[in-house]
């Protein structure tokens, strides 16, 4: 009995209305036929006032950062809103119909585009995308795009580098007296963003720029490269190879494996650089690239020094006194000079093998110092930017 009373009360005091297909058709006929809507006309009743476009940028993903072509590829969609003063109606006259979806090709659309685009200039959106029109005339248009924008990539601190890229939108044909582009509510939104394996977004910013000839909105993405992969697969193996390279001087010349060992290490380094070359930026100027060249030069230096040492090791003539003094093998005052047939001097008990052994010690510590200094400078410069 109580349920029946509630039903009677609702039917007596509340007017139940629901929109139908006929309401939608009548509304479309009224807006586009009866009112003679013309999409080529900017929808301001007062044409002296500019159209205000509000834009939000929703980043979906970072597809690619191309160092060689200086290009940033992102997947994103824009949330663009404006008020069309020729598309408004009284909702109660059409079955409480408060909003309507219409193709973007049927209503006035701003010719907004990516100003710093990498490819050819194209309008946003597509024919299948529909705009939402509220009964107040508020239009919301959400074009989805893969944006290719220009970006200056600085790889000096690769792989610990951070990049700042701008994505600039402008109304191409209209002047600021006709259309003004402004930031809407949220600027850049990352709620829909999917993670990228190499790049992460550190921070974002957005700003408006109104000049005498154009109005633009600039979205800035501050990106940071993930360095773990490059650290584990490039930097650490190179450091380990450089250690093996230094220990060439710890191997005695009498072992017969000194030359073969240094050549093997040098070839290993060369082959490794060939393998990882595809992972390195194709542009020059990185600190890591200079470090790789330094290590390659150290490998060449070790091979050359080893060749000269083996040449000296197998010499049968006497060691000149000047070399003994330079190497400081013994106290010069105790040198017993003996003149041989060719007029050179030698010291009894000093052979070329002793000179080579002393050279190994000196070169070992000199090479170790150079590699340590270069590595510490590299890591210090790279990690201070991370």
CATH of the domain at 180: 2.70.170.10
- Asked if 300 and 365 sit in the same domain, the reply is yes
Query: From the CA atom positions of the chain, what is the Rg in Å?
Result: 38
Q: Which of 2-16, 40-54, 195-209, 256-270 has the lowest average pLDDT?
A: 2-16
Beta bridge partners of 337: 347
In this structure, is residue 204 part of a structural domain?
yes
Beta bridge partners of 171: 112
- Asked if 367 and 275 sit in the same domain, the reply is yes
What is the structure's pLDDT at 19? 64
In this structure, is residue 143 part of a structural domain?
yes
What is the structure's pLDDT at 107? 92
Average pLDDT for residues 53-81, to the nearest whole number? 93
Is residue 167 classed as helix, strand or coil in its secondary structure? strand
* CB distance 287 to 381 below 8 Å: yes
- Asked if 40 and 101 sit in the same domain, the reply is yes
Average pLDDT for residues 12-27, to the nearest whole number? 64
What is the structure's pLDDT at 120? 73
pLDDT, tens digit, for every residue of 173-218?
A: 888 889 999 998 777 889 889 989 899 999 999 998 888 788 899 9
pLDDT, tens digit, for every residue of 262-281?
A: 999 999 988 888 888 878 88
In this structure, is residue 176 part of a structural domain?
yes
Among 171, 204, 225, which residue terminates a domain? 225
What is the structure's pLDDT at 346? 45
Q: Which residues contact 303 (CB under 8 A, 6 or more apart)?
A: 262, 263, 266
- Asked if 39 and 188 sit in the same domain, the reply is yes
What is the structure's pLDDT at 101? 92
Is pLDDT larger for residue 141 or for residue 6? 141
Rounded-to-integer distance, Cα 302 and Cα 43, Å: 77
- Asked if 255 and 172 sit in the same domain, the reply is no
CA distances for 4 relative to 8, 10, 11, 12, 13, angstroms? 6, 10, 11, 12, 14
- From the list 53, 136, 44, the residue with the least C-alpha distance to 99 is 136
Rounded-to-integer distance, Cα 64 and Cα 72, Å: 6
What is the structure's pLDDT at 256? 78
- Asked if 198 and 336 sit in the same domain, the reply is no
In this structure, is residue 206 part of a structural domain?
yes
Burial class of residue 276 (count of CB atoms within 10 Å of its CB; 0-12, 13-18, 19+): middle
Share of the chain above pLDDT 90, in %: 40
Among 199, 225, 251, which residue terminates a domain? 225
What is the domain range of residue 311? 228-383
In which band, very low, low, confident or very high, does the pLDDT at 7 lie, cut at 50, 70 and 90? very low
Average pLDDT for residues 50-54, to the nearest whole number? 92
In this structure, is residue 2 part of a structural domain?
no
Average pLDDT for residues 66-85, to the nearest whole number? 92
Among 225, 255, 283, which residue terminates a domain? 225
- Asked if 211 and 348 sit in the same domain, the reply is no
Burial class of residue 74 (count of CB atoms within 10 Å of its CB; 0-12, 13-18, 19+): buried
Q: Which of 136-150, 157-171, 337-351 has the lowest average pLDDT?
A: 337-351
Rounded-to-integer distance, Cα 291 and Cα 277, Å: 14
Neighbours of 366 (CB within 10 A): 14
- Asked if 170 and 21 sit in the same domain, the reply is yes
pLDDT, tens digit, for every residue of 220-275?
A: 999 999 988 898 988 999 999 999 999 999 888 888 788 899 999 999 988 888 88
- Asked if 97 and 208 sit in the same domain, the reply is yes
In this structure, is residue 247 part of a structural domain?
yes
What is the structure's pLDDT at 386? 62
Residue count of the chain: 386
Tokens standing for 38? 């013309």
- Asked if 117 and 242 sit in the same domain, the reply is no
In this structure, is residue 179 part of a structural domain?
yes
Q: How far apart are the first and last CA of the chain?
A: 74
Q: Which of 43-47, 143-147, 166-170, 184-188 has the lowest average pLDDT?
A: 184-188
| pLDDT exceeds cutoff 70 at 12 | no
| pLDDT exceeds cutoff 70 at 15 | no
Opening angle at CA 145, ends 143 and 149, nearest 5: 125
- Asked if 134 and 269 sit in the same domain, the reply is no
Look at the chain and report how many structural domains it folds into: 2
CA distances for 238 relative to 247, 258, 310, angstroms? 15, 21, 26
Q: Which residues contact 80 (CB under 8 A, 6 or more apart)?
A: 53, 54, 55, 56, 110, 112, 140, 141, 142, 143
pTM of the model: 0.78
Rounded-to-integer distance, Cα 43 and Cα 53, Å: 12
């Amino acid at each position: 009995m109580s349920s029946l009373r509630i039903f009677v009360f609702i039917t007596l005091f509340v007017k139940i209305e629901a929109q139908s297909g006929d309401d939608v058709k009548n509304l479309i006929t009224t807006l586009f036929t009866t009112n003679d809507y013309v999409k080529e006309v900017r929808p301001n009743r007062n044409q002296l006032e500019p159209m205000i476009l509000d834009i939000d940028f929703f980043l979906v993903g970072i597809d690619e950062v191309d160092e060689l072509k200086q290009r940033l590829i992102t997947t994103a969609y824009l949330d663009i809103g404006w008020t069309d003063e020729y598309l408004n109606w009284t909702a109660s006259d059409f079955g409480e119909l408060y909003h309507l979806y219409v193709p973007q090709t049927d209503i006035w659309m701003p010719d907004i585009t990516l100003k710093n685009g990498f490819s050819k200039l194209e309008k946003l959106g597509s024919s299948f995308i529909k705009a939402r029109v509220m009964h107040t005339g508020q239009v919301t248009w959400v074009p989805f795009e893969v944006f290719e924008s220009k970006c200056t990539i600085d790889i000096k601190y690769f792989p610990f580098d951070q990049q700042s890229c701008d994505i600039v939108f402008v109304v191409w044909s209209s002047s600021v007296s006709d259309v003004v582009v402004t930031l809407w509510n949220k600027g850049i939104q990352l709620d829909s963003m999917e993670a990228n394996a190499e790049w992460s977004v550190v921070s974002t910013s957005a700003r408006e720029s109104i000049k005498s000839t154009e109005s633009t909105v600039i979205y800035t993405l501050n990106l940071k490269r993930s360095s773990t992969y490059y650290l584990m697969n490039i930097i650490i193996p190179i450091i380990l190879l450089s250690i093996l390279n230094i220990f060439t001087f710890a191997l005695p010349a009498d072992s017969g494996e000194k030359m073969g060992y240094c050549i093997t290490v040098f070839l290993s380094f060369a082959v490794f650089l060939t393998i990882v070359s595809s992972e390195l930026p194709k542009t020059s100027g990185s600190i890591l690239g200079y470090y790789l060249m330094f290590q390659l030069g150290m490998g060449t230096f070790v091979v050359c020094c080893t060749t000269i040492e083996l040449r000296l090791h197998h010499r049968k003539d006497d060691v000149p006194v000047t070399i003994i003094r330079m190497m400081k093998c013994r106290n010069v005052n105790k040198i017993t000079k003996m003149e041989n047939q060719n007029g050179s001097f030698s010291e009894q008990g000093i052979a070329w093998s002793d000179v080579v052994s002393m050279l190994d010690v000196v070169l070992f510590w000199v090479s170790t110092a150079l590699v340590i200094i270069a590595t510490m400078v590299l890591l210090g410069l790279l990690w201070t930017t991370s």
